[in-house]
Amino acid sequence: MDKKILKEIINADLYRYYGENSFKTFLKAFFKMQGFKYTYFLRKSHFYKEHNKKIRYYFFYFCMRRYTYKYGFEIPPACKIGKGFYIGHFGRVRFDPNVEIGCNVNIGPGVTIGPTYRGKNKGVPKIGNIVWIGTDAFIAGKIQIGNNVLIAPGAYVNFNVPDNAVVIGNPGKIVSYSGTDSYVCRRIECNQ
């Protein structure tokens, strides 16, 4: 990944918040939207770690860690996250470092995406494109979440979810195949 691609990814994240990506909008999002500010430092630390630029990596990593403690977002730079990532609200969010997430994914507060250490689903989830994950949802195990999926608030998901599914409940169950409808707004083109 070069700097041009990094800028494109950050602009895609910014677009998801305000529907535009001017410098004025960047400043507005950086100072008003905790999710965007955290994601900005996450993207920069991931980029500089990949390119072995240690001083820059540590600067952005320590900025990101500061906001981890301040906002409660715990997303390691090792996570593979597609462009157009959106953290909707202030509050605890926890990802395992090996999680893979597609583009146009919305995350609510209290979401945990992590591993299962035993059983048939031992491993970490892989999340598709255009996915809305509601408040306090828990996604665990080596499972595949398809594209255009809605995971309702409070859902516990430890099974593969096909495209266009809506999952609710604890334990989670698929209740329809209407997808995200209007839940994921200001989508960007996915070309990962």
Whether residues 30 and 59 share a domain: the answer is yes
Average pLDDT over residues 158-182: 92
Residues 106 and 176 in one domain: yes
Distance between CA atoms of residues 62 and 54, nearest Å: 12
Reply yes or no on whether 46 is catalytic: no
The whole-angstrom separation of Cα 146 and Cα 133 is 12
Q: Which of 44, 73, 102 is the last residue of a domain?
A: 73
pLDDT band at 119 (very low <50, low <70, confident <90, very high): confident
Residues 107 and 176 in one domain: yes
Residue 14 lies in a domain: yes
The verdict on residue 86 lying in a domain is: no
pLDDT band, residue 184 (cuts 50/70/90): confident
Residue 3 has pLDDT above 90, yes or no: no
Does residue 141 form part of some domain? yes
- What mean pLDDT, rounded, does the chain reach? 93
Of 13, 46, 73, which closes a domain? 73
What's the pLDDT at 75?
Answer: 94
Q: Are residues 18 and 64 in the same domain?
A: yes
How do beta strands 166-168 and 173-176 pair? antiparallel
Average pLDDT over residues 93-97: 94
Alpha-carbon gap, residue 73 to 35, rounded angstroms: 8
User: Would 87 be classed as within a structural domain?
Assistant: no
| Helix 34-50, helix 23-32: angle, nearest 10 | 110
The label of the residue with tokens 């990814």 reads 9
Residue 40: domain span: 1-73
pTM of the model: 0.91
Number of domains in the chain: 2
pLDDT of residue 1: 65
Long-range Cβ contact pairs of 65-73 (< 8 A, separation 24 or more): 67/34, 67/37, 67/38, 67/41, 68/38, 71/34, 71/38, 72/109, 73/34, 73/35, 73/38
Catalytic residue among 65, 89, 94, 187: 89
Residue 191 has pLDDT above 60, yes or no: yes
